[in-house]
Amino acid sequence: NAGVTQTPKFRVLKTGQSMTLLCAQDMNHEYMYWYRQDPGMGLRLIHYSVGEGTTAKGEVPDGYNVSRLKKQNFLLGLESAAPSQTSVYFCASSYVAGGRNTGELFFGEGSRLTVL
Amino acid sequence: GIQVEQSPPDLILQEGANSTLRCNFSDSVNNLQWFHQNPWGQLINLFYIPSGTKQNGRLSATTVATERYSLLYISSSQTTDSGVYFCAVVGTDSWGKLQFGAGTQVVVTP
């Protein structure tokens, strides 16, 4: 099992460019998440999904869009990148047990994005 | 929302030393996890431990849910233990969103 895989691992963008980060998990997990990690700010939740075809906003959703067309994939899009979106992005997934989200997160390796 | 406090914020250890990291939380939880973020930035899941005690090699963790704290023990520390250790919890009234503590920065010197 690969677990949670993120692509690309590194990317440099110019202000105003767009891009998509792909997250794929092979554990058949229902929940998927996108976090950003900034120095001194810890991990902040951008968007999450409770299942295929559903998405919801987290703490810091502005400037990002997401889609979950397939259960195993969760895409994070930046339509018009800004320097404030320079960060390390982590995808994660979790499973349901007893009809409830366990919240046990499995993380990808992270994607470092720099916006110039 | 639920508050998560970790202590100490920083820890410097000599190789071979033992240490204890603490996580306090402000409300009842359904889940508690310990993560290690290594110097390369990878987040590694150490323990899923809403209550009780677990051990994995030189690491062990104990959560006392009724008293709202968890402890992570590192024994015979090695330089590869360096990094940031995060505690994260899911409150009982939450849909499953993890609330992270600020982390403990650990440096193990040879």
**Would you call the peptide bond into B8 cis, given omega within 30 degrees of 0 as the criterion?**
yes
Instruction: Tell me what pLDDT residue B8 has.
Output: 97
Residues of chain B found within 8 Å of residue A107, distances taken between Cβ atoms: 35, 42-45
pLDDT grade, residue B92 (50/70/90)? confident
Could you give the CA distance from residue B43 to residue B31 in angstroms, rounded to a whole number? 18
CB contact under 8 A, A104 and B33: yes
Task: Print the domain residue range for B26.
Answer: 4-109
Q: What is the distance in angstroms between the Cα of A62 and the nearest Cα belonging to chain B?
A: 19
Question: Angle at Cα B15 formed by Cα B14 and Cα B20, nearest 5°?
Answer: 75
Say yes or no to pLDDT of B16 above 90: yes
* pLDDT for residue A100: 82
Report residue B31 as tokens: 């889940």
- Please state the length of chain A: 116
pLDDT at A1: 64
**Of the candidates A91, A88, A92, which has an alpha carbon nearest to the alpha carbon of residue A113?**
A88
For residues B79-91, give the mean pLDDT: 94
Q: What is the CATH number of the domain that holds B83?
A: 2.60.40.10
Give the pLDDT confidence score for residue B62 in this predicted structure: 98
- CB of A107 within 8 Å of a chain B CB? The answer is yes
What pLDDT was estimated at residue A7?
A: 97
Comparing CA positions, the residue from B98, B70, B75, B72 lying closest to residue B85 is: B72
CB under 8 Å to A116, separation ≥6 — which residues? A12, A13, A14, A15, A83
CB contact under 8 A, B97 and A48: yes
User: At which residue do the structure tokens 């001194």 appear?
Assistant: A40
Which positions in chain A touch B45 (Cβ < 8 Å)? 104-107
User: Is the pLDDT score of B95 beyond 80?
Assistant: no
> Given CB atoms, is A43 within the 8 Å cutoff of chain B?
yes
Bridge partners, A4 (sequence order): A25
Task: Give the domains, in start order, of chain A with CATH numbers.
Answer: 4-115 (2.60.40.10)
Q: Which residue has the tokens 């330089």?
A: B79
Total count of domains within chain B: 1
* CB distance B61 to B45 below 8 Å: no
Residue A52's pLDDT is 95
Q: Name the residue in chain B with its Cα closest to that of A102.
A: B96
Please give the C-alpha separations between residue B95 and each of A100, B12, B69, in angstroms, as whole numbers.
Answer: 8, 37, 21
Binning pLDDT at 50, 70 and 90, where does residue B97 land?
A: confident
* Average pLDDT score over residue span B3-16: 96
Helix extents (H) in A4-116? none
- Mean pLDDT value of segment B93-107: 85
Concatenating the DSSP letter of every residue in chain B gives: ---EEEE-SEEEEETT--EEEEEEESS-EEEEEEEEE-TT--EEEEEE-SSEEEEETTEEEEEEGGGTEEEEEE-S--GGG-EEEEEEEEETTSSS--EE---EEEEEE-
CA distance A43 to chain B (A): 7
**Among the partner residues A43, A48, A94, nearest to B100 by beta-carbon distance:** A43
Task: For B52-67, write each residue's pLDDT tens digit.
Answer: 999 999 999 999 999 9
Q: Which of A45, A107, A109 sits opposite B97 (nearest CB)?
A: A45
B93 has pLDDT over 80: no
pLDDT at B51 over 70: yes
Instruction: Evaluate whether A64 touches A80 at the Cβ level (below 8 Å).
Output: no
- Cross-chain CB nearest to A104 (options B48, B97, B103): B48
Task: In whole angstroms, give the CA distance from residue A66 to residue A89.
Answer: 13
Which is more confident, A100 or B105? B105
Instruction: Report the Cα–Cα distance between both ends of chain A, in Å, rounded.
Output: 36
Q: Which residues in chain A have their CB less than 8 angstroms from residue B101's CB? A: 42
User: Chain B residue closest to A105 (CA)?
Assistant: B45
CB contact (8 A) between residue A103 and residue B94:
yes
How confident is the prediction for chain B on average, in pLDDT?
A: 93
* Percent of chain B surpassing pLDDT 90: 80
Average pLDDT for runs of 10 along chain A of length 116: 91 97 97 92 90 94 97 97 97 90 89 97
Percent over 70 (pLDDT), chain B? 98
